[in-house]
Amino acid sequence: MSDATAAELRAAGGPSAAGEPWASAGAQAALGLGAAGFRRVLVLGGTSEIATAIVRELATREPCEVALAARDPQRLGDVAQQLRAAGCARVQTLALEATDPDSHRAAIARGIELLGGACDLVLLAVGLLGERGGLPDDPRGAVEVLEVNVVGCGSLLLESARALRAQGRGTIVVLSSVAAERPRAANAVYCASKAGLDALAQGLADALAPTGVRVLVVRPGFVTTRMKRGLPVPPLSTDPEGVARATARGLRRGAHTVWAPSTLRWAMALLRLLPRPLFRRLPL
């Protein structure tokens, strides 16, 4: 927590030191940080179509200030324009490279600085799909998926958690996937990467619960974004807006896990129980 924010909180009846339970509802309200408020949003993977839809959905309730972090400045500029047009009060951009963990602490600090020194919500949306199939033809590409989705996202999650714990509050949304729930032959590497990130997010959610920092794990199925362009659309697919509505609902009700669409929760519970020889025969 910045000194200024800590002082404001003390004045408003909030906690006296970082790591203490978050301020009373009155103190939060005094600072414009209502329990359900997600006004200042840092998006890691700021050009993600799903993350952009989540910000647009949140902005229908309150005017968000947004910091978008990703690699491509041109695409970041385009997304920033879209969000301004959607009513976001202030949208700024910064560079982020997921495969350079040494840069993550500074990037997150910069993102929070751009938001005025405090952050209500971190959206972790970085992700790579990679080659489809059980044994990839390109092992280097498979390693890149693991580097981005597990090592890179893992590092971004840990650094985000440290930053929010230091300010004494905040929420991290982790875009996991149904792929984390049961690995499929059609996409073994991506499934493994999402399972690793999902496990880290769940463990951290429990570890951080007493600190006032929340972690919400979002597990979408097939979402019609550029990541899946050209692939056949399976049953129970959704669009970025569907994931956004489910995420916003999950944030409001304090959920720890969200499925999008919600029916996937039950479908995956059944699939998890299927014995491997049967599971192998499914056209998944």
Three-state DSSP state, 69: strand
Three-state DSSP state, 218: strand
- Residue 179 half-sphere exposure, CB side, CA atoms within 13 Å? 23
Instruction: Determine, following the binding rule CB under 6 A, whether residue 217 of this chain makes contact with ligand NAP.
Output: no
The answer to whether residues 231 and 253 touch, using CB atoms and an 8 Å cutoff, is no
Chosen residue from 1, 5, 39, 49 binding ligand NAP by CB under 6 A:
49
Instruction: Determine, following the binding rule CB under 6 A, whether residue 123 of this chain makes contact with ligand NAP.
Output: no
- Cα distances (Å, whole numbers) of residue 136 to 141, 153, 155, 190, 193: 8, 21, 25, 11, 14
Instruction: Please work out the total of residues on this chain that contact ligand NAP, with binding judged by CB under 6 A.
Output: 28
218-247 residues near ligand NAP, rule: CB under 6 A: 220, 222-223, 225-228
Beta carbon nearer to ligand NAP, 33 or 156: 156
131-190 residues near ligand NAP, rule: CB under 6 A: 148, 175, 177
Which region, judged by CB under 6 A, interacts with ligand NAP, from 3-11, 19-27, 46-54, 55-63? 46-54
Active site residue 190: yes
- Min CB(68)–ligand NAP separation in Å: 9
Two tokens, residue 66: 């947004």
Residue of 190, 197, 247, 259 marked active site: 190
For residues 83 and 89, give the distance between their C-alpha atoms in angstroms, rounded to a whole number: 9
Beta carbon nearer to ligand NAP, 7 or 138: 138
Beta carbon nearer to ligand NAP, 61 or 226: 226
- Cα distances (Å, whole numbers) of residue 207 to 161, 164, 229, 235: 10, 13, 37, 36
Interior/surface letters 253-274, b for 16+ CB within 10 angstroms, e for the rest: eebebbbbbeebeebbeebeee
Chosen residue from 67, 118, 126, 201 binding ligand NAP by CB under 6 A:
126
Beta carbon nearer to ligand NAP, 228 or 249: 228
247-276 residues near ligand NAP, rule: CB under 6 A: none
Chosen residue from 58, 114, 128, 204 binding ligand NAP by CB under 6 A:
128
3-state SS record for 110-135: HHHHHCCCCCCEEEECCCCCCCCCCC
The answer to whether residues 44 and 126 touch, using CB atoms and an 8 Å cutoff, is yes
- Min CB(229)–ligand NAP separation in Å: 9
74-103 residues near ligand NAP, rule: CB under 6 A: 75, 96-99
Q: Tell me the catalytic residues.
A: 190
Q: Which residues bind ligand NAP (CB under 6 A)?
A: 45-50, 70-72, 75, 96-99, 125-128, 148, 175, 177, 220, 222-223, 225-228
